[in-house]
């Protein structure tokens, strides 16, 4: 799998997750489904299987396209801009 061009824009080292859960879900009393961490700033958000899609919303609001899964045993990354794994 080749890397998308957005990978070149990532900070080095990549930021650590800012929290251990989706703070937006926590604030509204919702249960986050499958967490994602923004590889540009460390924001943690819930995935698109969650009712509120906070990781996608973070991309829309900030333009930060790359996330990594925070699920145990998984290590994949997703680019929202290119709509593909990277």
Q: How far apart are CA 41 and CA 11, in angstroms?
A: 9
Instruction: Over range 18-43, report the average pLDDT.
Output: 96
Q: How far apart are CA 7 and CA 5, in angstroms?
A: 5
Query: Is 55 in contact with 61 (CB distance < 8 Å)?
Result: no
Q: What is the DSSP letter of 78?
A: E
Half-sphere exposure of 18 (CA within 13 A, CB side): 12
pLDDT digits over 35-62, tens only? 999 999 999 999 999 999 999 999 999 9
Model's pTM, two decimal places?
A: 0.93
- What CATH homologous superfamily does 5-85 map to? Zinc/RING finger domain, C3HC4 (zinc finger) (3.30.40.10)
């Amino acid at each position: 799998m080749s890397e998308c061009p957005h990978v070149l824009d990532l900070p080095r080292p990549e930021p650590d997750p800012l929290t251990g859960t989706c703070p937006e879900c926590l604030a509204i009393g919702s249960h986050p489904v499958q967490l994602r961490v923004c590889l540009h700033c460390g924001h943690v958000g819930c995935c698109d299987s969650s009712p509120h899609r906070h990781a996608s919303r973070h991309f829309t609001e900030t333009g930060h396209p790359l996330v990594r899964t925070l699920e145990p045993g998984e290590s994949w990354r997703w680019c929202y801009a290119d709509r593909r794994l990277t």
